[in-house]
Amino acid sequence: MQLRYSFRLYPTAGQRGALARAFGCARVVYNDALRARETARAGGKSFPKIGDLSKLLVTEAKKTAERAWLGEVSAVVLQQSLRDLDTAYRNFFDGLKGKRPRMGAPRFKSRKDNRQAVRFTANARWRITPGGDLSLPKVGDVRVKWSRALPSVPSTVTVIKDAAGRYFASFVVETDPAALPETESVVGIDLGLGHFAVLSDGTKIDAPRFLRRAEKRLKKAQRNLSRKAKGSNNRDKARIKVARAHARVADARRDFHHQLSTKIIRENQAVAVEDQAVKGLARTRLAKSVHDAGWAAFVAMLEYKAALYGRTFIRIGRFEPTSQICCVCGTKDGPKPLHIRVWTCRGCGTVLDRDINAAVNIAKAAGLAVTACGAQVRPVRVPAQREEAGTHRDGPPVVAGIPAR
């Protein structure tokens, strides 16, 4: 299976300029190709093929005075930009045919976009130097902060600049599944807002609420941004401060998701979750809390880690009445308001915790044998945010993966 490994880059001032040229050239070629296809569509003609666009917008364009600067960057970057457009159109049409979730039509890129990226394939002859730098054509040897070892030789590398002005190298590698030792434990997970996750064994993981905890700092940074004149350098500096504040929140949330998903996958042979209606909940007054929780990202981590480490991952439908059925006798007791957290079953008289009962029913709906209904709650520590936990800028590479106990 294919995995993506991301590492922080620290380019010099000259390398940042070279990457800016690469971002700009790739963006121009992408927009030119999009304009050519939209012009053909408006004229009732068939879309020009990617080979024709490559010859017209890359090879021939370099020979003109208006586009001669395209030769200052690697040709592979420009070719991959055209492939990205082709993929965007394919995904758009597949969404219209029902082959995948619907998405918008390809749009023109802007130099003011929050994310800029270029991709280098093996044809670009990029390499990792013996000193651990990333050598990119017409950019140079860029310093990389290696946090773990790559499991195999990567096929491509994508250089990304985010809204906070940080640079990352994203490698795509092929890796074989590495099954963990089998265990008899299985678990159902009920995701929520009061507690981020409640497990069928009675464990309750508190919601870290990273966005809520950072709101005061974000509010101050956003207020400073709103006071700056549009188009000024001070406004650009204030915008970067806001982006960095949001990036710290996103990084802390992602780290929490990784640690928790790794722990669950390592300790359980099978994991069951309920499909959440995130889009619907995001249109309610709970929208900020729903986005702050990041359920979809967490479930995606569980799914790919289960496939990678030989575990079973099961997703049940969102319409299963997990909160209405007694996990002891199976009596359906009907829907209950959200403020009712504990209830007594009319069939057997068992006092049930609403969330633990739902987690057990999720596991049972997935066909897992669990008997922990009514288990005692044991709190789990919430990890500190990134700025609260000291980290070193550099460190020796470590082997990727989930260590087995």
C-alpha pair distances (Å), 4 with each of 153, 169, 304, 379: 12, 10, 11, 33
190 labelled catalytic: yes
**Which entry of 274, 292, 303, 353 is annotated as an active-site residue?**
274
Are the C-beta atoms of 126 and 134 separated by less than 8 Å?
yes
Owner of token pair 């941004």? 225
Secondary structure of 330-366 as H, E, C letters? CCECCCCCCCCCEEECCCCCCEEEHHHHHHHHHHHHC
**Which entry of 32, 84, 190, 292 is annotated as an active-site residue?**
190
333 labelled catalytic: no
**Which entry of 32, 84, 303, 355 is annotated as an active-site residue?**
355
Give CA–CA dist 323/341, Å, rounded.
10
Give CA–CA dist 131/8, Å, rounded.
16
Bridge-partner residues for 4, per DSSP? 172
Give CA–CA dist 175/178, Å, rounded.
9
Helix axes 13-42 and 75-96, enclosed angle (nearest 10) = 40
Give CA–CA dist 3/173, Å, rounded.
6
355 labelled catalytic: yes
Residues recognised as catalytic: 190, 274, 355
